[in-house]
Amino acid sequence: MNFIEDLKWRGALNQVTDEEGLINAMQSGEIGAYVGTDPTADSLHLGHLIPFMVLKRFQNAGGKAVIIIGGGTGAIGDPRPTTERQLLSPEQLHENEKGITEQVTKLFGDANTAIVNNNDWLGKLTLTDFLRDYGKLFSINVMLKKDVVASRLETGISFTEFTYQILQGIDFHELWRRQNVQLQIGGSDQWGNITSGIDLIHSIEGNDAKAFGLTIPLMTDSSGKKFGKSEGNAIWLNPEKTSPYTFYQFWFNQSDEDVVKYLKYFTFLGVDEINALEQESKNNPGGRVAQKRLAQEVTKFVHGEQAVVDAEKLSAALFSGDVADLSAADIADAFGGVPSFDITSEKKNIVDFLVDGEVEKSKRQAREDVTNGAITISGERVTDLNFEIDPTKHYDGKFVLVRRGKKKYFLGTVK
């Protein structure tokens, strides 16, 4: 399959301006494609990974991957459907740019990749240059019809955000001129901005100038929710914001209804292998073979092979209950979301400990669960009512992990 056919099979194509022309351009020689991202945070999240996967496929098909870190556009803010963005300080923008640059470098490597900052050209534009060279080429009537602008006309939109589409068009033309970038890739909500950039290129360079746009469908899960959120929290690509284990678990916990769709979109596995995983999932729906492969592939792409090994080692330890030798970082990572309570580093009788931490409602219940072998402390099953818990014994003296029954965990944190 060619690049477009592959995207169609993977469910990764929404619109393309000139399908045949794009394929011919790719076959005639190396051209570039770009995805832009504004440094509104110090890390990318899974929402950003959606267009980057398509750009990576373009690179794998022989094209050049160009990523714009929007130091210029980020200072203004891409319009939101409802409200104005909060402007960031130059210092914060610079810090965000550094973090995002590191991440995209890891994703795309150095070969056949260019990472640029649009402040290099937008920052040099004077107001008169902007109005004379670009403003005269954009029709207000057309700009008002863009979805993101039209949706804001009743509530109001600033001139700053209104002009964002012009700046994005300038980006496309600059990359067309500097890097032979003929394709812009974006989400479905970017169609209007992308076509504005194509129109700008044609206005300046002539109607024969080759420029294409491609958008990606809105990514939702089987329940219709926007992809990329986990219990309301963003899944970040920065391992310090979302650990590789949590990242791995996000993918491993995908539903049977979604897993094949995500295998197609977020991995580079071929048709035969994905079809085989789909069939295996149907034959053994509880085996989660497809989910495991999905978690392995995406975690390896974003965080590397060792992150997969570490995540699966931690998963195996948690499944078996063999948690005594885990590190404090592992415990904080894996059990950050379980009920927790503060403790001191002093030793305490197990019954008092369980009641004080509200693991048990009463001493009677605590004694019964201990005697019946239902209580495990930091991986050690305790049946002695006189047992004293020593918080300094495991996990660098930072935590005491309590398991009641088979699955109910509580975390005591030394303060």
CA distance 205 to 200: 8
Q: Which parts of 118-188 are beta strand (E)?
A: 181-187
CA distance 299 to 409: 26
CA distance 414 to 370: 22
Ligand-binding annotation for 168, yes or no, is yes
Ligand-binding annotation for 34, yes or no, is yes
Q: Tell me, what DSSP letter sits at residue 78?
A: P
CA distance 36 to 78: 11
Q: Which amino acid is at 413?
A: T
CA distance 351 to 365: 9
Backbone angles phi, psi at 210, to 5 degrees: -85, 115
Helix (H, G, I), strand (E, B) or coil at 64: strand
Backbone angles phi, psi at 68, to 5 degrees: -95, 125
CA 309: distance to chain centroid? 20
The answer to whether 406 touches 394, Cβ cutoff 8 Å, is no
Residue 415: enclosing H or E segment and its boundaries? none
CA distance 81 to 148: 6
Among residues 113, 107, 102, 111, the alpha carbon closest in space to that of 300 is found at 107
Annotated binding site: 34, 164, 168, 229
Residue numbering of the annotated binding site for L-tyrosine: 34, 164, 168
Binding residues for ATP: 229
